[in-house]
């Protein structure tokens, strides 16, 4: 059970959460989230999750791998945020977490009660729409807030016309 959302009526602003990773389609989700946020007077939150399971090595190696993964995550978040500043004119919130993807998404939604919509983008590869989108298909209660799935084939212009 998720805490009640803080909406505009209660002095909050509706935030759109996009997950950033190394998939090509995550940029579509970020673009849609930022454009919807700007159009509705809300905010955009970009979340990057470093998988903690990648660090099950000897202590010295684990520290190096964790530092490298966090530096890579910071770089990816910064790059996407800069693209959104230039293209959309919005300053997104950047969040970096370590853990299991769905658990960290749930934890952030619970922690930030202004997050009202999770935005994901479907991939267009023959393997399917992507691991995160695949994980929620057929599971109506997978996330406690509405989920918007953006086709990866939409251009920025097409996304703009939808927002």
Domain positions in the chain: 8-155
Q: Report percent pLDDT > 70 for the chain.
A: 80
pTM of the model: 0.86
Q: Tell me which architecture the domain covering 8-155 has in CATH.
A: 3-Layer(aba) Sandwich (3.40)
Query: Does the pLDDT at position 28 exceed 80?
Result: yes
Residue 19 near residue 47 (C-beta atoms within 8 A)? yes
pLDDT over 80 (residue 62): no
Mean pLDDT of the chain: 84
150-160 confidence digits (pLDDT tens): 988 888 888 88
pLDDT at 141 > cutoff 50 = no
- What's the CA angle centered on 74, arms 71 and 80, to 5 degrees? 140
Q: What is the mean pLDDT of residues 82-92?
A: 95
Give the list of residues 6+ apart from residue 114 with CB closer than 8 angstroms, or none. Answer: 5, 6, 12, 13, 14, 15, 43
Is 83 or 69 the better-scoring residue by pLDDT? 83
């Amino acid at each position: 059970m998720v805490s009640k959302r803080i909406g505009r009526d209660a002095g909050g602003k509706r935030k759109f959460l996009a997950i950033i990773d190394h998939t090509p389609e995550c940029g579509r989700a970020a673009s849609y989230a930022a454009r919807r946020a700007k159009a509705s007077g809300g905010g955009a939150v970009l979340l990057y999750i470093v998988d903690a399971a990648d660090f099950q090595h000897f202590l010295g190696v684990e520290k190096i791998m964790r530092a490298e993964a966090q530096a890579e995550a910071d770089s990816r978040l910064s790059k996407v945020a800069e693209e959104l500043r230039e293209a959309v004119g919005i300053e997104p919130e950047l969040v970096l977490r370590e853990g299991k993807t769905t658990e960290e998404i749930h934890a952030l939604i619970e922690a930030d009660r202004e997050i009202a919509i999770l935005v994901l983008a479907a991939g267009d590869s023959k393997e399917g729409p992507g691991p995160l989108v695949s994980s929620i298909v057929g599971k109506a209660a997978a996330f406690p807030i509405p989920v918007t799935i953006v086709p990866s084939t939409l251009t920025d212009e097409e996304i703009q016309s939808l927002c």
